[in-house]
Structure 1
Amino acid sequence: MNVLEKILEEIKEATFQEDAPIYMGDMEVDGYVRASRIEEIIRSHMDDGSKSDWIPCSERLPEKPVFGEDSYIVQTNNIITPFSAFWDGEEWTDVSDDKVKGVIAWQPLPKRYKGK
């Protein structure tokens, strides 16, 4: 379960307590925010596909790397699944050093997994 889903569950449970600071009704009362509004706020920050870290190539390309090339996740107009590609400041290439054509969006690689 996503961390934000856990937070939502805790908020919902808290609203049923007698001294709950959150009003469960349909409107704000005496400055209390209704639980459904809190849920809307949290869900707006969850990864539901409506928000994205993708950067369209039409907006900008990555900066030229200081040395060699940098790796990114890319989406092309002819391959459905995003994949890793390299940017050398002029063109995209894949792991075989072949040119990647039709890149429409890119994003930085996620942070490396460090384990526990």
Structure 2
Amino acid sequence: MKIFLKVIDKLKKQTQYGEIAEPYLNCKYNKGWNDALEKVEELIASYNLSENWIPVDMKLPPEPKPNHIFKGDIYLITVKKGTIPFRAMWNGEYFTDGFEKLEVIAWMPLPEPYKEKKHE
């Protein structure tokens, strides 16, 4: 979500004349543009990450890619009567923590891992 907000900040038109004189001296396009971006910002801020959960009765993950380390792809899951989501493997048939079959009610893909930025 942070990336979207950063992009919106870069898209905003800077005022050249100050808030009071801007509407009279510059095109009202900039104000309309920035107003629209503010609405987009509000929509992004209102987005609830819990909406990313996919119930298993609606859809299962795709067939896992071949992997020589372990059998399956890793997902974030929620189990029946569980209060904390955790990661588990999907082997194409069921979710497992590596020891037992899990009673999963919803899942979501893991985000991309953090990549450290190189400072110049």
Amino acid at match of 1:98: E
2:89/2:96 contact within 8 Å kept:
yes
Task: Supply the distance in 2 between the matched residues of 1:38 and 1:105 (Cα, whole angstroms).
Answer: 33
Q: TM-score, normalised by structure 2?
A: 0.63
Instruction: Give runs of ≥4 in structure 1 deviating > 6 Å.
Output: none
Gapped regions of structure 1 (runs ≥ 5): 24-31
Task: Supply the distance in 2 between the matched residues of 1:52 and 1:86 (Cα, whole angstroms).
Answer: 21
- Shift in Å at residue 89 of structure 1? 1.1
**Partner residue, 1:112:** 113
Number of residue equivalences? 104
- Shift in Å at residue 47 of structure 1? 6.3
2:56/2:105 contact within 8 Å kept:
yes
| Equivalent residue in structure 2 for 1:89, among 92, 97, 120 | 92
- Deviation track 1:65-99 (CA, whole Å, cap 9, x = no partner) reads 2332111001223112211011111111114x222
Identity among equivalent pairs (%): 31
1:48 aligns with 2:47: yes
Gapped regions of structure 2 (runs ≥ 5): none
Amino acid at match of 2:91: D
Secondary structure in 2 matching 1:84: strand
More helix by share: 2
Q: TM-score, normalised by structure 1?
A: 0.65
| Equivalent residue in structure 2 for 1:99, among 98, 101, 107 | 101
**Partner residue, 2:29:** 21
Amino acid at match of 1:107: M
CA RMSD of aligned residues (A): 3.3
